Structure 1
């Protein structure tokens, strides 16, 4: 009979760290997505509080403001992974969030003299700071999550995406209509970001061993679980300092490429739904969604709820020994890709008399797709806990280029917002990309530590190369000696 593992307190520091990661995503996503509501309030004061300045920005200028964040965001993903390895997640995430929070204060002061161009510059700078965030989150989860809790903790932290988006829509609309007006959106976003930074400095720790508040039982449980697959020599090497990144092995890794392609395909389908569905529903379904805050937020509420459903299901399957981690990831990812692909095609055949069904399908699409977090997002930790931040930096860079490209393709295909056939082409393309992405993941994706995750991988590779070179030179010398004897 085996002894029961002592995991420490029911609510331990690993849960505290996960909750702090969740909050970090929430506050950063509030700052990231509050622009959608803020721009409406700033260009149409009658819809909120008319006592504040109104700006005459056309559609193109508004689109520049909304997209400008991503131009900065994709530039610092690699840098975020490197900074996390160099200075640790605690300090890098602090810099990321405090920079974004302080920049959130600037629009009310700068737009009055710099116009929409000043707002774009601020948004680009915010993107640069927030680009550090997700590589650090994945690296931090790798350091704090026991192997059998990676699904649970990783998914719970990532529910901050939907919660942050939801709060950005609900709270921003309420604030803009209050006595604070649209400037209050920026002040509140900044305040919650700064508050998180203070809490993070108090409770955040790069590793369990650095935490001031962790119990001995929980520390032993986490370290034993994470180190169980490592050799003593490999662990000693890691303890000496940052592990060199095996760039060549990463870029030649088929499972890594499968993950990156899958995440890009998910980003394509999701961004199509997120950015283009309002135009489709307004043009084809004749729905006025601009002032319908409840409808805009409903899909993200569904996604947030479904994220917890997926966590519970995955936890039962894993802890009950019903399915392996590979089976869980590939099954859930298939559900979250294949079903939304079918729903996207179905939405394209709806007309203006089927508005209710369109709302239901849109919510179902976003909600079911929430399983991609467990299915593939946290696969970076499976492949390489030691380089999870670097992998996330690469994957997130590629994935966030897609939201810049999808509107361009839609602009080419859809020349008339009221033409349902043109929209059907857009949705069919997205559905095919969803389908192909998951097929690649099913065939080539892996959920085990890769050989290049080992701290001594590059040393062994170099030793092997030197040995091969030595053997080649010895063989060459023997052949030369034989030739010399023969000529004599």
Structure 2
């Protein structure tokens, strides 16, 4: 017989993986969707200001605009790898603790501050280039690193408070759309604008303005968690809180020692280092490879970079729903789904990257299907692999886990463009690109094997919080009868 304060088995079903909520979930487009869409949009804009530098450098270092008055600085191209990696120098330090700070004090206004700082620093690049050349751009990128390094773990605070267990792949994919969409827009639009009369500075100011507009939207509609949202329905709030089995208003000290000594956490961290290295190589060096190695012009380059990403969005929808379907229908346990998506994704992306270097220059358009495969497999990692495993171990401390993994990932990832500078001394030489991309594939695949061996889907005792009986009773009085029953 169920008593007051017990979970209704019709509402919450233990399927061997976690608790799956079976009661009413509120509106089909709920406040949780709006929060994740907002953060995804912001992530996409901010990420675009990071990745578009690869195409921008082609325009900054050579005359691409139809307007001959647009300045360009050939000397900056000598240190292009340093310019592209400099954003990681500062971002890795700020990622480590920003997730902890966001968990302790709330992430909304911190997200707004970091996004605003990124917009200002990005818009300063044309002025900085004219005054300080390479050094000026690097200074702007360092400031962007402070902003972006802080921003990413803070958004994990939002995900940990708003995303139910049953929707992790789908809701995680919404965030991925922000990133992939930004790559499409940044590559296609940047290439077009760079050749237009307003030139490469115009591309910077347009994306900087978009960044600023998003800050206004976030200030108006962003919220830390369901408990502080003024218009969320009782049903949706209970769905989220029952699924996560946690009270968002409760403060628990960050268990740093237990986090750093957890083998499951290290599986996530190491696999993130590997997959991030491949993503960094793709985002910073693919434009250089197809432009200088395969002789694409800047418009063709934009097409070769944007089209595969566009196709990957459609594939990502399928993979996101497939991941959740396999779990909720008990075909795969959560941990096995994470293992499969991570290993298939990182292996496919690494091999596709290497195979692209064997495309003959006289048939260089053949590289586009391989670039499509790279994007497809990278998407598999993002929507179903270790990218969301931190929420399985602890939704409450996922931001801390991703802060640590982001710090170490960036520390290793900053070597991706530097390795290109060291190894590829002739950027038209395909064999040198093969060596570089082969190194990236090995760095990506090896730690993912470790993740497969140690991955877990069990909520960790240090990251677990169940509402005490008095809170359960209080919630039951609030007409949440589908999740809590009274005798």
Match of 2:27 in 1: 9
**Structure 1 residue 332 displacement after superposition:** 1.4
Q: Decide which structure has the larger Cα Rg and report it.
A: 1
What's the CA shift string for 1:104-127, capped at 9, x where partnerless? 332334433333322221121111
Cα drift, residue 306 of structure 1: 2.5
What is the rounded CA distance, in whole Å, between the counterparts of 1:336 and 1:82 in structure 2?
29
Aligned position for 1:309: 318
**Match for residue 77 of structure 2?**
59
Contact kept? 1:270, 1:366, Cα under 8 Å: no
Given that residues 138 and 378 in structure 1 are in contact (C-alpha distance below 8 angstroms), is that contact kept between their aligned partners in structure 2?
no
- Pairing 1:43-442 to 2, within 5 Å after superposition: 43-227=61-245, 239-241=249-251, 243-281=252-290, 286-292=294-300, 293-373=302-382, 374-417=384-427, 419-442=429-452
Q: Match of 1:449?
A: 459
Unmatched runs of 5 consecutive residues or more in structure 1 = 457-488
Deviates most, 391-400 or 332-341: 332-341
TM-score by length of 1: 0.84
CA distance in 1, matches of 2:72, 2:284: 25
Alpha-carbon distance change, 47 to 17 in structure 1, aligned in 2, over 3 angstroms: same
Moved more, 364-373 or 11-20: 364-373
Say whether the 8 Å CA contact 2:92–2:410 is kept in structure 1. yes
Aligned-partner SS, 1:7: coil
Match of 1:212, SS? coil
- Report the Cα distance in structure 1 between the residues aligned to 2:292 and 2:57, rounded to whole angstroms: 21
* Deviation, structure 1 residue 334: 2.0
SS at match of 1:118: helix
Task: Classify 1:33/1:407 alpha carbon distance in 2 versus 1 (closer, same or farther; 3 Å).
Answer: closer
Q: 1 CA distance for matches of 2:240 and 2:107?
A: 18
C-alpha distance in 2, partners of 1:280/1:112? 27
Partners of 1:51 and 1:181 within 8 A in 2: no
Instruction: Give the secondary structure class of the aligned counterpart of 1:57.
Output: helix
Q: 1:104 to 1:151 in 2, by over 3 A?
A: same
CA contact (8 A) 1:108 1:183 kept: yes
Q: Distance in 2 between matches of 1:279 and 1:103?
A: 24
Verify the 8 A CA contact 1:263 1:395 in the aligned structure 2.
Answer: yes
| Compared CA separation, residues 418 and 120, structure 1 to 2 (3 A) | closer
Aligned length: 446
Higher mean alpha-carbon deviation, 406-415 vs 296-305, is at 406-415
Residues 204-242 of structure 1, C-alpha deviations (whole Å, 9 max, x = no match): 111101011211211121112212xx6xxxx5xx7453x
Provide the C-alpha distance between the structure 2 equivalents of 1:182 and 1:301, rounded to a whole number of angstroms. 23
Question: Which position in structure 1 is the counterpart of 2:6?
Answer: none
Instruction: Please tell me whether the aligned partners of residues 82 and 418 of structure 2 are also in contact (alpha carbons under 8 angstroms).
Output: no
- The alignment partner of 1:395 has SS state of helix
Given that 1:272 and 1:406 are in contact with CA atoms closer than 8 Å, whether structure 2 keeps it comes out as yes
Deviation at 1:75, TM superposition (A): 2.2
Higher RCO structure (Cα 8 Å, ≥6 apart)? 2
The Cα shift of 1:272 comes to 3.3
Secondary structure of the 2:60 match is helix
Aligned pair in 2 of structure 1 residues 422, 114: CA closer, same or farther (>3 Å)? closer
Post-superposition Cα deviations, 1:22-67, rounded to whole Å, max 9, x if no partner, equal 1111111222233333333333344443233333434224433322
Q: Distance in 1 between matches of 2:429 and 2:126?
A: 39
Q: Is the 8 A contact 2:55 2:287 kept in 1?
A: no
**8 Å CA contact retained: 1:41, 1:48:** no
Please, what TM-score do these two structures have when normalized by structure 2? 0.84
C-alpha root-mean-square deviation of aligned residues, in Å?
Answer: 2.6
- Provide closer, same or farther for how the CA distance between residues 36 and 49 of structure 1 changes in structure 2, counting only shifts above 3 A: farther
Which is worse superposed, 34-43 or 139-148? 34-43
Structure 1, residues 283-327: CA drift from partner, whole Å, max 9, x if none?
Answer: 66x433444221122232233333222112113223333222222
Q: Contact 2:270–2:448 at 8 Å: present in 1 too?
A: no
How much does 1:138 deviate?
Answer: 1.3
Which ranges of 4 or more aligned residues in structure 1 deviate by more than 6 Å?
none
CA distance in 2, matches of 1:281, 1:176: 17
CA distance in 2, matches of 1:421, 1:433: 19
Closer, same or farther: CA 298–324 of 1 in aligned 2, 3 Å: same
Give the corresponding residue for 1:485. none
| Larger CA deviation: 391-400 vs 359-368 | 359-368
**Quick one: distance in 1 between partners of 2:403 and 2:418?**
24
Aligned position for 1:473: none
The CA deviation at 1:427 is: 3.7
Q: Unpaired runs of 5+ in structure 2? A: 1-8, 12-21, 467-487
Kept after mapping to 2: 8 A contact 1:151/1:314: yes
Q: Distance in 1 between matches of 2:281 and 2:48?
A: 21
